[in-house]
Chain A
Amino acid sequence: MQLYLPIAEISVNAFLVLGLGGIVGFLSGMFGVGGGFLITPLLFFIGVPPAVAVATGANQVVASSISGVLAQLKRKGVDFHMGGVLLAGGIVGSAIGVWVFRLMTNAGQVDLFVQLSYVLFLGLIGAMMLQESLRSLLRARKPGAPIRRAHVHSWVHGLPLKMKFRASGLYISVIPPILVGALVGFLAAIMGVGGGFIMVPAMIYLLGMPTKVVIGTSLFQIIFVTAFTTVMHAVTSQTVDMMLALILILGGVVGAQIGTRVGVRLKAEQLRILLSLLVLAVAVRIAVDLLVRPGELYSVAPGVMP
């Protein structure tokens, strides 16, 4: 069934989009990430203009994060204090991101900018995650090895403006969470992602939060950052395609429920290795596009250069 998208102004197969949403939902349910880093490149691939893909991807992440937070809320897995501080940073980062995105669109370099961000951040996070999970897998095989402390004191704990975060059992400065929040907000705006794949490792390793509250808190603040990003994109560039978002969400929520069930049966280390390989595969795929000579050197965009 063909469906004409009113904002993207292309006709797509509705079942293909539903299927894409479903696959991404399945993976996000299995790994506990928003899936924005998969959906946006997949949308590029089926011919959705990059600007529309990024803005609509953000809208889709709102839906999957709300679904996730509601599940975490029952497990008391959300630290609202920490979420609020991360959010304050996130809004600032997101506003800067939307502004940079428009600057790059005008300069004709938005595709390059989005692609480079993907290669850089996905490559970095994927490699770090793979290395860390391989190491913990090896450690699990050697029973005599020393157990690493989850909570290590570092320079982070020496900063001023300390605050109590009860749910996380932390007493740390608000500066690192604000910076982490700002970075994730910035990435959400330029990559159309929630930033869970950056937020989660940052919370564990940088802020020393207990794993129990990490996913819920990360999702909690991602809801607001992507919601803000969606509205900003809608207002500044009118690139949110409501129809496309709805179909993606529909496929995504169904896929997520199936993915969650499959995920429960896998071991945590196996899951993390699979996720890191997936993240790396996306990064490599995009890097190849940048390095190989394109078939068509010219591109055509309606509109006037500023």
Chain B
Amino acid sequence: MIFRALALLFTLTAPALAQETIVSGLSQNRVSITADFDGSEILIYGAVKRDTPPPGGGRLEVIITVEGPSTPVTVRRKARVAGIWVNNAAVLVDSAPSFYAVATTGPLGHILSDTENLRHGITIERVIRAIGITAEAENSEDFVRALLRVRTDEDRYRVLEGKVELTEDTLFRTDVVLPANLTEGEYKVRLFLLRGKQVVAHQERLIGVRKEGLERFIFNLAHERPLIYGLISLVLAALAGWGASAAFRLVRA
């Protein structure tokens, strides 16, 4: 009995002893959107920590994902009605990230199994939640594919296969460029270590993206005091219009 319990304990702790863990860092953990914001590059780096020699069971691979805040999204399709192109079908996707990048050490199909992808939600197709859309329109999968295509064209969704550099099975790094049209919120960075298409370790970190300074002030004012904001916009426009005519009079005089 004791022997069996010990054996069980051993089998439970054995993988833990051989476990590889991630030690990681980000070049910055907050991004400020200021008036001159023109995108930002984030360096994600790390090392694999082991207490024992590297185990067998396939080459070590690394996948890093960066995920922006998710919102519900409406996807509309145009069709020709009476000679002109109008939106005539729509599908609501429950949740889609505003930004998503997957960087890997190799082709996703070779280093990640479908079940692990499903469990951890690694590729963008697994991150988008579109439940019950089949009832909303015909060929509803087309809408999800279109969402991926449109956002990929806008540089919001990216697959960066082979863009993670892995040195001596220990050190890894990648750069992810955040575009200029960023949405505010918490950006989730996930790091996965894989062997034989299985995730052996993972870690999660956050990057805070916030509007700062004047941008913050204008945005808050517009949403919290819309009437005052509208009036201030008018006063500024009036001053500019009056100023221009006054300045012109001075130039002419």
Residues of A that sit less than 8 Å from B by CB: 1-4, 6-7, 9-11, 59-60, 62-67, 70-71, 108-109, 111-112, 116, 227, 230-235, 238, 240, 242-243, 245-246, 249-250, 253-254, 256-257, 290-294, 296-305
Q: Which residue from chain A places its CB closest to the CB of B154 in the assembled complex?
A: A300
Q: Are B241 and A66 in contact (CB under 8 A)?
A: yes
Using known A-B contacts A4-B37, A108-B87, A227-B234, determine if residue A234 contacts B244 with beta carbons closer than 8 Å.
Answer: no
Q: 13 pairs across A/B with beta carbons < 8 Å?
A: A2-B180, A4-B35, A6-B222, A11-B180, A62-B238, A63-B240, A231-B234, A234-B229, A238-B226, A243-B218, A245-B237, A290-B84, A291-B85
Q: How many Å lie between the Cα of A66 and that of B240 in the bound state?
A: 9
Contacts of A231 on B, CB cut-off 8 Å?
A: 227, 230-231, 234
Instruction: Give the total of B residues in contact with A, Cβ under 8 Å.
Output: 63
Q: How many Å lie between the Cα of A65 and that of B75 in the bound state?
A: 39
Q: Are A304 and B240 in contact (CB under 8 A)?
A: no
Q: Are B241 and A67 in contact (CB under 8 A)?
A: yes
From 26 to 59 in chain B, residues with beta carbon under 8 angstroms from any chain A beta carbon are 33-39
Contacts of B38 on A, CB cut-off 8 Å?
A: 2, 4, 11
Chain A interface SS verdict (over half): helix
Contacts of A10 on B, CB cut-off 8 Å?
A: 180-181
Q: Are A299 and B76 in contact (CB under 8 A)?
A: yes
Given A64-B241, A242-B232, A253-B244, 9 new contacts (CB under 8 A): A2-B38, A4-B34, A6-B214, A63-B244, A232-B230, A238-B226, A294-B85, A297-B77, A298-B150
From 227 to 253 in chain B, residues with beta carbon under 8 angstroms from any chain A beta carbon are 227, 229-234, 236-238, 240-245, 248, 251
Q: Are B244 and A67 in contact (CB under 8 A)?
A: yes
Q: How many Å lie between the Cα of A230 and that of B77 in the bound state?
A: 30
How far, in Å, is A220 (CB) from chain B's closest CB? 13
Q: Which residue from chain A places its CB closest to the CB of B39 in the assembled complex?
A: A11
Q: How many Å lie between the Cα of A297 and that of B35 in the bound state?
A: 33
Is B177 an interface residue when CB atoms closer than 8 A count as contact?
A: no
Contacts of A293 on B, CB cut-off 8 Å?
A: 80, 85
Contacts of B242 on A, CB cut-off 8 Å?
A: 66-67, 70
Is B109 an interface residue when CB atoms closer than 8 A count as contact?
A: no
Q: Could you say which of A65, A299, A305 has the most chain B C-beta atoms within 10 Å of its C-beta?
A: A299
> Which residue of A1, A240, A256, A301 is within 8 Å of B222 (Cβ)?
A240
